[in-house]
Structure 1
């Protein structure tokens, strides 16, 4: 069974999507539609912008979404998913690709998500840190024992977990994690505590936008970050998406469930190849590749 997986924030690069724009009239039309929907020329930033311009949350999230969803669209009959999943932001890309969301509705949700997250980041100084080489349960226990807000945020692959919280708590937790034998506990260059309780203001704002968006029956199941199991009911998909910003991204568990349910070919759709790398660390026996037109 073919599983298509969609990347999240951090996969952006200058020139992303330009090959699609130049080679496909359908892609060009969708990029132009995106510019009109957003009210600014995001294609110009994607194709010519600096790394700093692309790092702005209000640009990064829609840019990655556009690269992923437009690539899936122009693949046409070659895009035949039996199951999909997306890492954080990538979940909305996956929901457009499996026909749960219309392209424009997905783009508007992504943009509202980005703006809401940016606002939440400004309310309290917060950050994230990557932890390598420890069991998940030990990282969770150290986070629970650390004063302040610090939680497990991204279960990326065995031995790689990202924690999220207020700056002081992250600093203290990193010291404890190193003492406990972590190979690395490295603060990441991000502007906020994504997938933690500190994103509650953003969750509330995004939940209202999700509530007013039409979700239809998908063409194939999605394995969502919050639940990790196959979901096809639009109301359940909607509910899971509402809690995604404050809940951890259970990527390892989602991929393991996809494999258990018959996934044998995992194809990354969008910029970069981060998810292929994680796949190899989760289960080397499954086939991984990059989507191409």
Structure 2
């Protein structure tokens, strides 16, 4: 019969529990059933996940493509050309990007007689290819001495077109775009490639006019137009195109081509 000890009372009817062997790591478990090694692995994995997540979230949503600056006696102008690297095409997202670029460059010291630009412009494009056409920006910021705050403009057609690609609804513009693409496909042409080809032709005609008429002016513009007409006529004959198709390609290419 068990002897009762007043200093260390216990219930003699209960079975005696075996002491935990601390020296055996396989039997050393925490109260929740996981080993220290498992919990350490989970902790390191979680830490690594958050580090990657923070770095990804911290990546800029734009890339500076190039910058141009010039100076006169009363003006210091800086232009930043950037590429938008996100897929959300609303005013709030685009505005935050151009303002960030503006804040990072508004005090840039590049000039001889000015400590900072007096005129700063930011042009935001959706790709390097679209940036070849300076007018194909999706968002533009301009700050000059005449306005206290930066003025921001948006290419609503391009915004709505690109945003519409993310949903299943088709508006009139998307239907017209599909008809145009079908028209071009029947002639072994693709909208964005053809749009880029026309842009390259335009740049080439301007370069030729610059050489022939370096003083610019009326003769320069007329020469550019004559080259444009000549080159487009070649395309019309080659692909059996209508003359009106160039305007459609320009409009929808600017809207849908990144």
Greater Rg over alpha carbons, structure: 2
TM-score past 0.5 threshold: no
> If the length of structure 1 is used for normalisation, what is the TM-score?
0.26
> If the length of structure 2 is used for normalisation, what is the TM-score?
0.29
Higher relative contact order (CA 8 A, sep 6+): 1
